[in-house]
A and B are shown apart, each in its own frame.
Chain A
Amino acid sequence: MNKFFASFVKEILLLIRDRAGMISLFIMPMILVFVMTVIEDSALNSTADKQISMLFSNPQNDSLGIAIKNGLDDTKAFTIVETVDNKPLDKQSLKHYVSAGKYPVGIYIPEGATDTLRSNTRKVVMKTFAEIGLTSGETKTYDFDSVLIDIFYDPAVRNSLKALVDGAIGQHSANIVGKMISEMYSEILSDFLPGDKKLNVNYPTMISVNKQYASEPGNTIIPNSTQHNVPSWTLFAMFFIVIPLASSIIQEKDGGTYLRLVTMPKTYITTFIGKMVVYFIVCLLQVTILFSMGMYIIPLTGIPGLQIGTHFDALVVAVLASAFAAVAFGVMMGSFCTSYQQAASVGVILIIILASFGGLWMPVYLMPKNLQGMLGYSPMNWALTNFYDLFLRNAQIKDILPNVYKLILFGIGCFTLGLAYKAIKKVK
């Protein structure tokens, strides 16, 4: 116990005197969690409306254009910009501003769009009536002049924004066409009614959408940027201890203290465990600090705070298992790597790969199917799934146990591999 305590104190002293290490373990993760939460919150419009500026040119004040503009405006996802420097936009200037990267997207409504659309609609309706013999018009072919709406995208724009704009335009165009067809039917059918009676075909809203989160009764946690980002980037920070931990092991090897430690009686394993315990505590401190920041500091910016669910015991289990896996991974890296540079470069790349497969960078459902299958092999995914289950689904211990077991097995595997490799190197 004396040896363990001595080793523990030594590691604490080494850690707190390493200013760069302390910054990378505590300050940088705080900045990372804060920045990522704020950025994603802005992107998801959970606190501020109309984040995406969109150029919109409708030179003839065409009613189709106005309808589309109003529809886009109603989504509250866009800020519609119709003049730049107090000058109205034409097709060329609109394209220029977008290609220059000043605006991510621009929409141009061509001249006579409504007239063309109305004409097309009339042709469709007339053809239909002619086919059933209600009118005597042409039943075979009609020439349609399709209304061509130009949408210009900045090449740097992500596909998600394109999908959002395309979807919004498609939806509002369909609504307008539907409305025109119904008006046309009403107008023509009115001719068959006696007297001055007018047919007025109106459609009510036939399909309503009830958007809600599939939460269990009693779970009032609402998913938001904080709920996703704080656990994600906290895990990233926890696994980042690989670098200072591996460096500490390598520095002992390089500096000769390893030689002294292995020549002391029954010492090396004790000092190794002392090192692990210190970094394990670092992980727990990281979680405490970063989750507290999510709960108490992030709400000061107007973003919803982190809610950790009601099963604190399960949260403790999830955190302990994640910390164990992160520390054991660091021990393995420290054993395998032969220089600080190697540990820093290989460690960072491995963490980024694990984070990618773990769903930290982007939601799992956006990944290609074949990559989604690999998620089952990332300890970060197991740990993140635990936190999501706890924070978004208010899970209990029994719900997270499968991933907890995986994390513990991963940790034992890393620790065993690291020590076995050291033993083999010693024999050689």
Chain B
Amino acid sequence: MAEETIIEIINLSKTYKGNKKPAVDGISLKIRQGEIFGLLGPNGAGKTTTISILCGLFAPGKGDVFIDGLSVRKDTERIKHIIGIVPQDIALYPSLTAYENLRFIGRMYGLKGVMLKERINMYVELLGLQDSLNKKISTFSGGMKRRINLVAGLLHNPKILILDEPTVGVDVQSRNLMVQYLKELNKTGTTIIYTSHYLQEAECLCSRVAFMDNGKIIIQGSPKELISKTPGCSNMEESFLKLTGVDLRD
């Protein structure tokens, strides 16, 4: 695994207007190129806000984030070429076919012609959707929607792939295929940032994870390190509950 830092978060804070409490409260983090980094935490921990700032969706309140040496404050447009995002929602048009959606997204990244077609065909085949390419998204099963959502984030071959709970509500087979594919993708050098509530999945997939709670990073390291740092815990879920508590966060 390369040791070069591709994402550096420095003292990042974000408070939404009307809220006194910050959603993200002075976090600092380094993510190395080629790793699968899990950002885990209960609801309202600040994961999605952190990811949104990485994607350029909104500006940081305080601090800065450098992605491949570019500041999210100054180089937002250049950063957008480097990252691919797989949002929690199925961010596709239900009344368009999978091909029409992917063709639109590919063109938005500057792809066209034969290259675009080849890229679409390659990814839909890798994720087992080649037979559904000309079907409307509205007719897809939950698992198929999640997989095509992943394809949409990959079309422009991003250096960094950000996934926000990509396997919510999918069957075991689809989840397994996606996890296996993400591992394969990571082997080609793509850095993956991943949030999930499925801690077993994160433990199996991620090389390093950070637990977030109340806008802060409470612990980070490899899954094994985190388990070993929380005495009496035999897996990441037990560690997570011990560190973040059992109180409901809704």
Contacts and interface: CB of A to CB of B under 8 A. Distances in A.
A267 B56 CA distance: 13
B92 interface: yes
Interface string B75-112: 00110110101011111111110001001110111101
Contacts of B17: 428
Given A2-B107, A2-B110, A259 B96 contact: no
B57 interface: yes
Nearest to A18: B95
A260 B87 contact: yes
A307 B104 CA distance: 43
Contacts of A257: 91-93
Contact of A426 (B57, B78, B105): B57
Contact of B87 (A7, A9, A259): A259
A2 B104 CA distance: 10
Given A6-B103, A426-B58, A264 B93 contact: no
Pick the most buried of B80, B91, B110: most chain A CB atoms within 10 A of its CB.
Answer: B91
Given A260-B152, A263-B55, A266-B77, A10 B89 contact: no
B181 interface: no
Nearest to B112: A2
A427 B108 contact: no
A3 B156 CA distance: 14
A427 B85 CA distance: 20
Given A265-B81, A265-B109, 18 more contacts: A2-B107, A3-B110, A5-B107, A10-B96, A14-B93, A17-B95, A255-B94, A256-B88, A256-B90, A259-B55, A259-B85, A259-B91, A263-B55, A263-B56, A265-B77, A265-B80, A266-B77, A270-B108
Nearest to B153: A260
A260 B151 CA distance: 13
Contacts of B93: 10, 14, 255, 257
B107 A255 contact: no
A6 B85 contact: no
Minimum-distance CB pairs A-B, first 8 = A256-B89, A6-B107, A256-B91, A265-B80, A260-B91, A17-B95, A428-B17, A263-B55
A170 B81 CA distance: 82
B16 interface: yes
Interface residues of B, number: 33
A3 B107 contact: yes
A262 interface: yes
Interface in A154-185: none
Interface string A386-428: 0000000000000000000000000000000000000000111
- Mostly helix, strand, loop or mixed at chain B's interface? loop
B96 A263 contact: no
B11 to A, nearest CB: 20
B133 interface: no
A13 interface: yes
Interface residues of A, number: 28
A2 B103 CA distance: 11
B110 A259 contact: no
A415 B115 CA distance: 36
A264 B91 contact: no
A263 B78 CA distance: 11
B81 to A, nearest CB: 5
A201 B15 CA distance: 96
Contacts of B56: 262-263
A263 B80 contact: yes
Pick the most buried of B78, B104, B105, B108: most chain A CB atoms within 10 A of its CB.
Answer: B108
B95 A14 contact: yes
A13 B87 contact: no
Contacts of B185: none
A256 B104 contact: no
Given A257-B93, A259-B85, A10 B104 contact: yes
A428 B83 CA distance: 23
B6 interface: no
Contacts of A7: 104, 108
Interface string B126-143: 000000000000000000
B59 interface: yes
A287 B109 CA distance: 36
Contacts of B57: 259, 262-263, 426
Contacts of A427: 58-59
Contacts of B91: 255-257, 259-260
Interface in A254-293: 255-257, 259-267, 270-271
Nearest to A425: B58
B87 A256 contact: yes
A5 B106 CA distance: 12
Contacts of A2: 107, 110, 112
Interface string B51-80: 000011111000000000000000001101
Contacts of A3: 107-108, 110
Contacts of A271: 108
Contacts of B96: 10, 13-14, 17
A17 B55 CA distance: 31
B208 to A, nearest CB: 24
Interface string A5-25: 111011001100110000000
Contacts of B112: 2
A255 B89 contact: yes
Contacts of A270: 108
Contacts of B104: 6-7, 9-10
Contacts of B83: 263
Contacts of A10: 93, 96, 100, 104
A428 B85 CA distance: 21
Contacts of B110: 2-3, 265
Contact of A13 (B89, B100, B107): B100
Pick the most buried of A2, A14, A259, A426: most chain B CB atoms within 10 A of its CB.
Answer: A259
Given A18-B95, A426-B57, A264 B100 contact: no
Contact of B108 (A259, A267, A428): A267
A20 to B, nearest CB: 12
